[in-house]
Structure 1
Amino acid sequence: MELAGTSRERNVWFRRLLRSVQGGAGAEAPCELICFPHAGGSSTYWRGLALELAPAADVLAVQYPGRLDRLREAPVEDLHVLADLVVEVLGPPGDRPRVLLGHSMGASLAYEVAVRLARQPGGEPRLLVVSGRRAPSAVRSRGEDWPRTDEELVARVRKLGGTDAQLLGDPELLELILPALRGDYRAIASYRDTPGRPLSCPVVALAGDRDPEVPVETVEAWRNHTSGDFRMHVFEGGHFFLNEHTGDVGALLRDLLPARAG
């Protein structure tokens, strides 16, 4: 992977989830896949998919401030600022095609990163995959139905099912993860996308057919945000349908991932 930041910045922001797997992986893989976690999530969420995709992709997951080994850092409460910070470290893709994948909040962030990369000569990703997230043109109204207290926030996260209920039920652990959850939800609530149709790369949208937060038609609206090809795939399940369909999503991505140039 070619990154523009220093070695320390690379290690802070990106986690190579599989350094060595039988058959090859990591930096020798033909394709680079950058994964963006959901609100309150961390880079480890993508390990299962990394296993599914080895050795076809070098999976690097973004580690946001305010969680795990970055727990002492303040969460970034603006998705545009967060996208700027990620792009500051990401360099050109080099001789390997680059794909971006984000789930929930991570989908909006992956989109904003793709928009910024597209402004650089040869920087636009070869593919953007967005999962479990309303298209920018279908986001909620500012302040609409967003948690206003910690109790409402925890209840909402429980409903979505993305965080282990034991974590939410343990007061000490909850105290550790709440700052990141608060920051991420503030970032989501205030988010407004970069206007226009700034992408020309293909976009693939994934949705759960029983997602209580993200109706399928709001995910399909991602077709309005690229002049390139668009595909939609609906899976059985709720907001975190990826948890039950890691193998299916992995198989889908293996068919879509581009090969190394040249």
Structure 2
Amino acid sequence: MSNLPPSQWLYIPKPNPQATLKLICFPYAGGSARSFSDWQNTLPHYVELIMISMPGRGSRFSEPPADCMDILTNTLLDELTPHLNADTIFYGHSLGARVAFEIQLKIKKRGLQGPCHFIASGSANPGKDRSDKNVYLLNDADFIEELKSLNGTPPAVLENEELMALFMPVLRADFKLADTYRYTGPEQLSCNISVFAGKKDEISEQAQLDWQNYFSSNFSFEYFEGDHFFIDSHNEQVGQAVNNIIAQIHNGNLLTQVS
């Protein structure tokens, strides 16, 4: 068993103190650990899976949601620091990719050990201006229509007024994080980066390819079937791609750039 105290921010289904590699996963807006939990069954024995558990959902449903990127990432980094004692892979989907990127900037600033590989999944680059959308400011009816268009919330939830009344504050907080965050600094990170993209995602290919501008090491790009939420609709295939990266790291191979 791990000697580390439990954290409400981190869900670790199978603590592994002997792990030589840790896969740390950050969910999309409105998402949870369920997008990554099935991967536990296929990961190599030397990998520990750590999933970020956000307030306002699951076992933390009664807690107020986070809506400030700076406070959120400072808190998460404090929680993650004891776990940065081995090689790590950061995986973030959509909003989760920008949260993971911001944490990496703070890791570098604090002089801590950053990830050896970053997977930015279903996300435009962190410098893209999203302030023109401001989805979180829409009235309830328009906000729900936007959720429908994204195709990531079950219709049974969207059509249930009581459920939506419960989840609306969480979703608005997440969209506030997504719509108001933009990185404008000159910093480049040195770890390898892979970008995963859905073939039918509304995010442009270029907006995703531009992630490479924020990293100085090896870059790869891979398409998956599905829309913005391909991580859920094609979870097994994404998990296999993650395992391929893990195998390359374990074997000491570097990814080559894909244009």
TM-score (ref. length: structure 1): 0.86
2:145 equivalent to 1:155: yes
CA distance in 1 between counterparts of 2:164 and 2:55 reads: 17
Please report how far the alpha carbon of residue 66 of structure 1 lies from its aligned counterpart in structure 2 after TM superposition: 1.4
Q: 1:122 to 1:187 in 2, by over 3 A?
A: closer
Aligned-pair CA distance for 1:27: 4.0
- Partner residue of 1:193? 183
Cα offset, 1:166, TM superposition: 1.2
Q: Cα distance, 1:164 vs. partner?
A: 1.8
Which protein, 1 or 2, shows the higher relative CO under an 8 Å CA cutoff with sep ≥ 6?
1
1:237 partner amino acid:
G
Give the SS at the match of 1:81. helix
Q: Which of 196, 204, 210 is residue 206 of structure 1 equivalent to?
A: 196
Aligned residues: 249
The amino acid across from 2:194 in the alignment is V
Which amino acid is the alignment partner of residue 133 of structure 2? E
- 8 A Cα contact 1:39 1:181, kept in partner: yes
Partner of 2:214: 225
User: 2:156 maps to what in 1?
Assistant: 166
Per the TM alignment, residue 135 of structure 1 is displaced from its structure 2 partner at its CA by: 0.1
> Residues 63, 132 of structure 1: CA spacing in aligned structure 2 closer, same or farther, 3 A cutoff?
same
Q: Per the alignment, in what secondary structure is the counterpart of residue 151 of structure 1?
A: helix
Q: Which residue of 2 aligns with 1:63?
A: 53
- TM-score scaled to structure 2, two decimals? 0.87
CA positional deviation for 1:159: 1.8
Please give the alpha-carbon distance, in whole angstroms, between the structure 2 residues aligned to 1:246 and 1:157.
21
What code does the residue aligned with 1:242 have?
A: I
Instruction: Say if 1:232 and 1:179 are closer, same or farther in 2 by CA, change over 3 A.
Output: same
CA displacement at 1:246 relative to structure 2:
2.0
Cα drift, residue 211 of structure 1: 0.8
Is the counterpart of residue 252 in structure 1 residue 225 in structure 2?
no
Per-residue deviation, residues 71-93 of structure 1 (Å, max 9, x unmatched): 22211112222111100111255
Between the aligned residues of both structures, percent identity stands at: 27
| Counterpart selection for 1:12 from 4, 8, 12 | 8
Unaligned runs of 5+ residues in structure 1 are 20-24
Query: Counterpart of 1:236?
Result: 225
1:22 aligned residue: none
Closer, same or farther: CA 26–138 of 1 in aligned 2, 3 Å: same
| 1:84 equivalent in structure 2 | 74
3-state SS of the aligned residue for 2:110?
A: coil
Q: Partner letter of residue 96 of structure 1?
A: A
Q: Residue 144 in 1 paired to residue 133 in 2? A: yes
Q: Structure 1 71/260 Cα, relative in aligned 2: closer, same or farther at 3 Å?
A: farther
Decide whether the 8 Å contact of 2:128 with 2:182 is kept in 1: no
| Structure 2 alignment gaps of length 5 or more | 253-259
Corresponding letter in the other structure for 2:94:
S
Amino acid at match of 1:16: I
